[in-house]
Structure formats: C-alpha cells, structure tokens
Amino acid sequence: MNSLKHLFRNLLLITALLFSLNHVQAQKKYTLDSYINTHSELAAELMEETGVPASVILGVAIHESFFGNSRIARHLHNHFGIKGKNNSKTIKSAFKGYGSVDDSYKDFVGLLQRRRATKKLFKELDHESYKGWVLGIARAGYSETTDWSRKVLSLIETYDLHAFDKIDPSPKISKLPLIVLPEIRSEQVVRIFSFSGYTVQPGDTLEDIAESVGVSIQRIKKINNIINDEDIIIGKRLFV
C-alpha cells in the first residue's frame, strides 16, 4: 500500500514538473531573428496562395505584435492587432482571439481580401511590390498612427524581409533563406518599435498597455502624468 502511495506521489510530482516546463516554454519570448525564421515559411505560403508579399505579412506581424511578444500575441495568438471577439479568461481585451498563430496570419490576409479599400491591391500590385502594399494598407486605415507605414517599411528594409518575396513559389516552397540579422542593440529595437501613441481600449490596464507596446509602466506614467489605472480612460490617446 505504501509503495502505491509512493508511486502515486512520484507521478504527481512528474506531472507537475512537466506542466511547469510546458508553461515556461509557452512563455518563452521570441528574439527578432527567431520570430522571422519561425514564421517566414507561413508568410511565404500565404504569398503563394494570395499574392500578398511575405515581407508585408512579416513586417506587419512584427510591428503589431512586437515580434510575437505582446500581451495579445501571447494570450490571444493575435499577431496583427485585429479587433474582435475572444473567449480568453486570462486577459480582458478588445482584440480578436485565435486558436493558433497560423489562424491569425490567415485572417490578416483574409481581411485584406474582404475589405473594399484593400481588395483592389490584389489587382493593382504583384507580390514584389511591398512598398505599394504597405502604403495601400495604410491608406485604407489599417492603423490610427500616421507613421505606421514608415515603421513597417523600415522593418522590411532594415531586416531584408523582401528577400522572402523573391522565392519561386512553384511547385512548392522547398527551402527558405535563413535570415541572419546583424547584432541589434537594445536602443535600436526601442527606436524601431517606439509607438507614437496608443488608444485605451475597454478593460485595459497599465500593465496591458505596457506589454502591448513594449515599454515600461513607469515610462507610460511619466510621459502621460498618470498615477494609477484609474487615470486611464477608454478612448484616451496615450503617448508611449
């Protein structure tokens, strides 16, 4: 009997350790290069299917999700900042929830196909015209920030994401180029991803906003003269 109890106790310990390990792995943050190399194949496949440049798909995803590390990316698998419903019990957010990152990528391309303002881009531009795509998406009102297109284009050109646009998509993508990024200093990352502003959404907290845009809570408080969560109002534009 004691041996059975001992065995049962050991099984519980092993289960707990495996759960902890899986949790740690799930929370592991991407580096910029690991994000690109993880998601470039999916972006290239979507380019093959729809004509949207892989560089644009990756550039928007990197910008909107802080290369997969934002709160909505980690908890909702939302890498494109698309608004909608979610069933998350972990966070309260006005952003759409997805079953997987792949679903988020596919929905972004689908959104461009569905919206009247971006549908025309599929007829006017080819898969290597990344600048035209970014500017067209920006003109269609994808983001409220005026420098959105500049930041996305900066990402595409700084990290040579347009290399993925030149892949021969037929008959099947067999091998993608491995992007090796130059050493990136922390201040460079902050400069590229510094958002000009953030509009407070229902249920947002300072912690939510800080994680979403990749800056510290202290910075948000300081430049917006905020003391606590009670000072943030839905619809208010914050400098970040």
By C-alpha distance, which of 107, 154, 162 is closest to 130?
A: 162
Query: Strand, coil or helix: what is 200?
Result: coil
Bin 77: left if φ > 0, else alpha if -120 < ψ < 50, else beta.
left
Q: What is the pLDDT of residue 22?
A: 44
Domain ranges of the chain: 1-26, 31-184, 195-240
Question: Each residue of 1-23: pLDDT tens digit?
Answer: 556 656 556 565 565 555 444 44
Alpha helices in the chain (DSSP H): 2-27, 32-50, 54-65, 71-76, 101-114, 116-119, 121-124, 130-139, 148-158, 186-193, 206-213, 217-224
Average pLDDT over residues 128-153: 94
Of the listed ranges 128-142, 168-182, 210-224, the one predicted with least confidence: 168-182
Is residue 142 within 8 Å of residue 81, measured between CB atoms?
Answer: no
Kind and range of the H or E run holding 237: strand 237-238
* Domains 31-184 and 195-240 belong to one CATH topology: no
For residue 40, name the pLDDT band (cuts at 50, 70, 90): very high
Q: Which two tokens stand for residue 92?
A: 């309260």
Is residue 151 within 8 Å of residue 63, measured between CB atoms?
Answer: yes
Domain 195-240 part of CATH 3.10.180.10: no
Sign of CA dihedral 130, 131, 134, 135: negative
- Write down the pTM of the prediction: 0.64
Distance of CA 102 to CAs 38, 80, 109, Å? 11, 11, 11
Architecture of the domain whose range is 31-184: Orthogonal Bundle (1.10)
Q: Which two tokens stand for residue 110?
A: 């689908």
d(CA 79, CA 82) in angstroms, rounded, equals: 8
Q: What are phi and psi of 238, to 5 degrees?
A: -105, 140
Question: Each residue of 195-239: pLDDT tens digit?
Answer: 446 777 777 788 878 777 677 888 788 777 788 777 777 777 676
**Does 57 have pLDDT greater than 90?**
yes
Query: Strand, coil or helix: what is 83?
Result: strand
For residue 174, name the pLDDT band (cuts at 50, 70, 90): very low
